[in-house]
Amino acid sequence: MFNVSRVLREPGLTNSDRPMDFRTCYVGQAVLRQGQNPYDDATLKRGWQRIVAAEQLVSRTEPGLPNLPFLYPPWAVALFGLTVGQLAYALAWPLWGALAVLCLLATARWWPALSKAESAPGIPWWHLLIFAFALKGTVPALLTGQPTFLALALGVGALAVAQLNESPAAGPGTRPDGQQATSQPRLLQAAGGSWRPVAAGALLGLAAFKVTLLLPFVAWFVWKKQWRSLLVAAAVVALLSAVAWQWAAAPSELLPTYRHLLAQVRAQSFDPADPDYPLTQGMTLRLELGNVLEWLRPGSSTWHVLLHGLLWLGAGLRLAWLHRQGQRVAGWWLFLVVSTLTLLTTYHLYYDAVLLLPLLAFAARLPGRLRLLLPVLLLPLLLPLNGLAQALGNPVALQWVYFLMPLSLLGVLGLLLSWPVDRASRQNDLRTSRHDFFI
């Protein structure tokens, strides 16, 4: 509630300014559809002023640097332009907010529904919804129009369709009524088996506008060897990219300008010359473990890649050891491991922690003492420590609270790797199915 009140009471924000994350997406697509470059900061700001003048909006802020640059890839611009870009901004942003809430609800409903489809013990959907809203970044992200929830729903939807594709192939004796799979017409089974990988791939490709959020979903499809779905996803991304290049008057300038913008954002994020460093440019909201190193050793950003690489190497060696021991880990557990790694090693803000909703299933598999440890590790993602420290005037003695989130994720990763969940593990005397991603 503290974070929500700060968003609602932010001085100088009008109704058109408040959904600031959605505004950046909307202006980016509008600029590109006019043949201009959305990755040029001055061009992006001029695009917003044109929208304000055309729709007679009241605005006191602008998208772009230093805090709201347009960092989405070209295929994301095409996706926004073909959908919400067809509406006026004054109509688009309220509809976008409603869509984000629906996506979060759908995500919470799909996880347990898929669990039931696998004949595995499930978790009530409203438990997942409560957990999602308990994460301190969820409601502020909904209020600012953050596209994370749409990407999450598309990704989980892709997994849902892929799981349905596997269900008919589970073999004889897997149906609760004891019927054989052959009781279904073979033609119908073949038709279902042909369109589902395509539909799953299409959803995965649409979710690719949020690249770093997509990595755990791609890892799941690779682990399941769903190559057709991955090819379809790549085709969707290529098609959307072609649309973006068609809109651009100078398509060859898009990627160089994009790389230059990324370098600018990176430089201003880790600038020890800034008098407010390291409390600016979203560092206090970021989840990368490198932020802790930067806080302890300002100017050490060149070592972040090495630190993050060691995390991936350590997790990979642990997975390889489990494989060598003959342990067949559950897909949803692997999803959690990859999700935690991506949150720790790629650009993510605190609202992207909604990737970790399946932690409720992991908690159910832990013994009593470790089950109590998990919520303790998650406290920095639940409590508004950042807002409280800022309300107290950012005293130096409290700056350490800004960097508890990556440390908490590191603890979660350690707990996941030390307590792997096997596909054949039992709970309440029920054996999980061969593909128990959605427990």
Q: Cα–Cα distance between 302 and 44 in angstroms, integer?
A: 30
pLDDT at 275: 62
Alpha helices in 248-285 (DSSP H): 254-269
Contact of 26 with 90, CB cutoff 8 Å? no
- At 267-307, the pLDDT tens digits run 777 666 666 665 655 667 888 888 888 777 877 778 888 98
**CA atoms in the 13 A half-sphere facing the CB of 67:** 12
C-alpha to C-alpha distance for 387 and 136, rounded to whole angstroms: 10
Least trusted range by pLDDT, from 171-175, 232-236, 309-313: 171-175
pLDDT at position 429: 35
Do 414 and 136 contact (CB within 8 A), yes or no? no
Cβ atoms of residues 118 and 169 within 8 Å: no
Distance of CA 283 to the CA centre of its chain: 18
Give the C-alpha separation, 305 to 309, whole Å: 6
Query: Can you tell me the distance from the alpha carbon of 133 to that of 259, in angstroms, rounded to the nearest whole number?
Result: 34
**CA 192/CA 292 separation, integer angstroms:** 48
Structure tokens at 233: 């996803």
Q: What is the DSSP letter of 251?
A: G
Half-sphere exposure of 404 (CA within 13 A, CB side): 17
Q: What is the pLDDT of residue 136?
A: 93
Per the structure block, which two tokens stand in for 317? 């060696």
Calpha distance 99→50 (Å, rounded): 26
Report the pLDDT averaged over residues 414-436.
61
Confidence of residue 204 (pLDDT cuts 50, 70, 90): very high
Place 170 in a pLDDT band, splitting at 50, 70 and 90.
very low
Mean predicted lDDT score pLDDT of the chain: 83
Answer yes or no: is pLDDT of 10 > 90: no
- Is-contact 417 337, C-beta < 8 A? yes
pLDDT at position 114, please?
67
Determine phi and psi for 280, rounding to 5 degrees.
-120, 170
- Convert the pLDDT of each residue in 74-94 to its tens digit: 999 999 999 999 999 999 999
> Before 38, cis peptide (omega within 30)?
no
Task: Tell me the one-letter amino acid at 161.
Answer: V
Radius of gyration of the chain (CA): 23
In the prediction, which pLDDT does 193 show?
62
Number of H helices, E strands in the chain: 19, 2
For residue 361, the model assigns a pLDDT of 85
In the structure encoding, which two tokens stand for residue 127, read together? 């438990």
> pTM higher than 0.75, yes or no?
yes
Count of alpha carbons within 13 angstroms of residue 431, beta-carbon side: 4
Determine the pLDDT at residue 224: 86
* Terminal-residue alpha carbon distance, the chain: 30
Quickly list H helices, 118-137.
Answer: 125-134
Question: Cβ of 65: how many Cβ atoms within 10 Å?
Answer: 17
